[in-house]
Chains A and B, each alone.
Chain A
Amino acid sequence: QSALTQPPSASGSLGQSVTISCTGTSNDVGRYTYVSWYQHHPGKAPKVLIYEVNKRPSGVPDRFSGSKSGNTASLTVSGLQADDEADYYCSSYAAISNYLFGSGTKVTVL
């Protein structure tokens, strides 16, 4: 039950884009469409940005988009804003009756 693998850090300039990868296995990311992405400012409640690979909850701007290919999911944040500086976590349902989070990526806005 290892965490999904994410790069520890990523960065982009204001207005630019950044893409974060999330690598799992054929038993989690590769098998299921239940991949989600969360934004987390430590000490505050996480916020879901993407669910079911590429769906956005109401209120989440379309600057946030998700995709998946094989065992790897990705989150792209376009038009970076200062407030996007946060930790980002992917997650996936995993067989059997298990839920995995990614290792987390700290995004810095330059």
Chain B
Amino acid sequence: EVQFLESGGGLVQPGGSLRLSCAGSGFTFNGYAMAWVRHSPVKGLEWVSSMDGSGLHTYYPDSVKDRFTISRDDSKNTLYLLLSSLRADDTALYYCAKPHTNWPFDAFEMWGQGTMVTVSS
């Protein structure tokens, strides 16, 4: 069974940083596009970042560009999201997700259970 397990969330002060991890089991990340999506009661679901299967191309919405960085370590079968210059409106449950095909912007067919990030002083 394919599973994604996110970790690394927590309470962080505004301006701080955090690294989220998404470990895959029953699934090999190598060669597959992956993404991060977040959910908050205020904004609902929001796409945060995507990476293509090669790992060479990354994509972000303007709201997180230059603050968040997606990366992967295929040897550890793990996807990462580095969050920096965090703001209160980054508070959300962060999910890793796999697109239906290997196109980074296809529908997300598999999701983890999420890790909570709270930005507050």
Contact = CB atoms under 8 A, between A and B. Distances in A.
Contacts of A101: 37, 44-47
B95 A46 contact: yes
A44 B59 contact: no
Contacts of A57: 100, 109
Contact of A48 (B41, B105, B108, B113): B108
Interface residues of B, number: 26
A38 B45 contact: yes
Interface residues of A, number: 28
A22 to B, nearest CB: 12
A73 to B, nearest CB: 13
Q: 6 closest Cβ contacts across the A-B interface?
A: A51-B107, A45-B111, A36-B107, A104-B44, A99-B47, A101-B45
A97 B105 contact: yes
A98 interface: yes
29 contacts: A1-B61, A1-B62, A3-B43, A34-B105, A40-B45, A42-B41, A45-B113, A45-B114, A46-B39, A46-B45, A46-B95, A47-B111, A48-B108, A51-B100, A51-B106, A51-B107, A51-B109, A87-B44, A93-B105, A98-B47, A98-B59, A99-B50, A99-B59, A99-B61, A100-B47, A101-B45, A101-B47, A104-B44, A104-B45
Given A1-B61, A45-B95, A52 B107 contact: yes
A64 interface: no
